[in-house]
Every structure is written in C-alpha cells, then in structure tokens.
Amino acid sequence: MGKPSRLPESGPAHVGIIMDGNGRWARLRGLPRSRGHQEGLQAARGIVQSAAELGLSYLTLYVFSTENWKRTSDEVGFIMGLVRQYLKKEIDFCKSNFIRVRHAGNRKGLDEDILNDLDDVCRETEHFSGLQVILALNYGGRDEIIRAIGKVTERGLPLSEENLTLCLDNPDIPEPDLIIRTAGEFRTSNFLLWQGAYSEYHISSKLWPDWTGSDLEEAINIYNMRERRFGAVYEDVR
Ligand code: FPP
C-alpha cells in the first residue's frame, strides 16, 4: 500500500537524478571530498523521503557510474562505504514507508557483500507498492545497452527497439519523465541513455548536498509547465 499522490495526474511518474557537486561543496568549505559525499548521502535520504511524501512512483539515483572507478581508491572506498551504510540503515525507513528498492547497473565489479546487502534490501521490499527507489550503482547507459544487446542475442530475439527495451536492467519501469542534474553541469554523463531519449531535463545550479525537498518540488512544478511532444506536434500528443 502506498500513500496517495500529491502530484497532478500529468506530473512525472519517474524522476532520475544525477547527484553532482559533492566535491565542490566540500572544496568550498575547505573540507575533504569525503565530507561532501557524506553530506550527499544525507541529501539523498531527504530527497527519498520527499519523493515518497509527494507520491512519486519512481526515483532513480545515480549513485556510482561505470566511470567512477577512475577516482582514487580512497574515494571509491569511501563512496562504497556510504552505499553499505545506506543499504543497512535505510531498510527500516523503506519498510515503514512502503518503499521498494531496486538496482540498475552491472553486478560485475561490485563487492560480494554489497551485492548481498543489495539483494537483501531488494528482496525484502519487493512487495511494496509505494515509491520505487532505483539505485544506479556501477551503472553506465552504454554498458546497460551492450548488456541488453547480449541478452537479446542470447534469447534469440531479433534486434529491435522493443526487444532491446525488454532486455534493459528494469524493463517494467517507465522511462524517466524528468532527469535532474545538480551543480550546473549540462551533461548526461552516461545516465539512462536509452530510457532518457525523450526525458525533460532540469539543470539546477545548487550543489547536491544543498538539495532539499523544496528543490525537488520546484523542479517538478517547472516540469509540469512544459509541453512534451515526443517528436510529434503538440496537437497529436494531447
Ligand atoms: C558526484 O559528485 C557524486 C558522486 C559520484 C557520488 C554520489 C554518492 C552519494 C551522494 C552518496 C551515496 C548515496 C546513496 C543513495 C547510497 P562529485 O564528486 O562528482 O562532485 P564534484 O563534481 O563537485 O567533484
């Protein structure tokens, strides 16, 4: 059972967030980058809570990309530590708010204990019908497309848009209506490349650790004023 939605029917069902600016947030304060990531985790917690309160159906968070392994081993280790913490600590919050947790990304490369915790959280919350939080962890849009092509071939299917979509990491999840990027950067950074073909983008100059529920509401309100055409003319999609 989920909470009733506070969003209009035409509001976004699925929002994806590229959480950028943790490092800059820390540098501006003369703090180590790790502190920025720590604050970034707090911001992510707050946004999950706000998304649940707003009645959003799907929220994809870009936690760690297939390219983020290029960072120092200290930084990678620190972020993975935060992921471990999140997976262990948030389970009760998810359960009491009917939140379902899911994973998008490549399992290969992730530590065994993280995979076990991820599988546990996903299994323990799979029956909830409230907000679905998709953790994009060791995720890359190109990597997902290549793996999907592999599955299409393995299943002996002809290569088509429909069949490739069916072989994505979470084929039942609708494409993101809105993709938010914080810290003022205008890049996709390999996030939901296939699913985001017609997503609306919202770029916020605020750094991720400063993001709150009211920023999410503002981004959604701006989205609600947009006209989506999906390549057609406006009259055809009304
Ligand atoms: C981008 O900022 C942020 C990341 C690569 C890590 C995101 C991770 C978290 C917010 C913590 C984990 C969250 C969950 C939900 C488990 P950046 O380091 O690229 O910032 P910069 O561009 O200012 O250097």
pLDDT value, residue 203: 98
Query: Is position 106 annotated as part of the catalytic site?
Result: no
Q: Helix 73-89 and helix 112-125: axis angle, to 10°?
A: 30
Q: How far apart are CA 16 and CA 236, in angstroms?
A: 26
Contact (Cβ atoms closer than 8 angstroms) between residue 221 and residue 5: no
Q: Give distance in angstroms: CA of 167 to centre of ligand 1.
A: 28
Contact (Cβ atoms closer than 8 angstroms) between residue 121 and residue 85: no
Q: Which residues, including other chains, have CB under 8 Å from residue 202's CB and lie 6 or more apart?
A: 178, 179, 180, 181, 219, 222, 223
- The minimum-distance atom of ligand 1 relative to the CA of 61 is 15
Q: Give distance in angstroms: CA of 57 to centre of ligand 1.
A: 23
Strand partners, 61: 17, 135
Please give the model's pTM, rounded to 2 decimal places.
Answer: 0.94
Which is catalytic among the residues 20, 117, 143, 177? 20
- The minimum-distance atom of ligand 1 relative to the CA of 41 is 11
Measured in degrees and rounded to the nearest 5, phi and psi for residue 33 equal: -55, -35
Contact (Cβ atoms closer than 8 angstroms) between residue 57 and residue 132: yes
pLDDT tens digits, the chain, 238 residues: what are they? 445 567 677 799 999 999 999 999 999 999 999 999 999 999 999 999 999 999 999 999 999 999 999 999 999 999 999 999 999 999 999 999 999 999 999 999 999 999 999 999 999 999 999 999 999 999 999 999 999 999 999 999 999 999 999 999 999 999 999 999 999 999 999 999 999 999 999 999 999 999 999 999 999 999 999 887 788 776 665 5
Alpha carbon 118 to chain centroid, angstroms: 15
pLDDT value, residue 235: 64
Contact (Cβ atoms closer than 8 angstroms) between residue 228 and residue 198: yes
* Residue type present at position 201: Y
CA-nearest of 21, 14, 11, 16 to 206 is 21
| C-alpha torsion angle, residues 64, 19, 145, 80 (rounded to 10) | 10
41 CB near ligand 1 (under 6 Å): yes
Contact (Cβ atoms closer than 8 angstroms) between residue 138 and residue 106: yes
Which of 20, 133, 206, 211 for mutating ligand 1's site (highest number of atoms within 8 Å of CB)?
A: 20
Which residue minimizes the CA distance to atom 11 of ligand 1?
41
Q: Give distance in angstroms: CA of 21 to centre of ligand 1.
A: 7
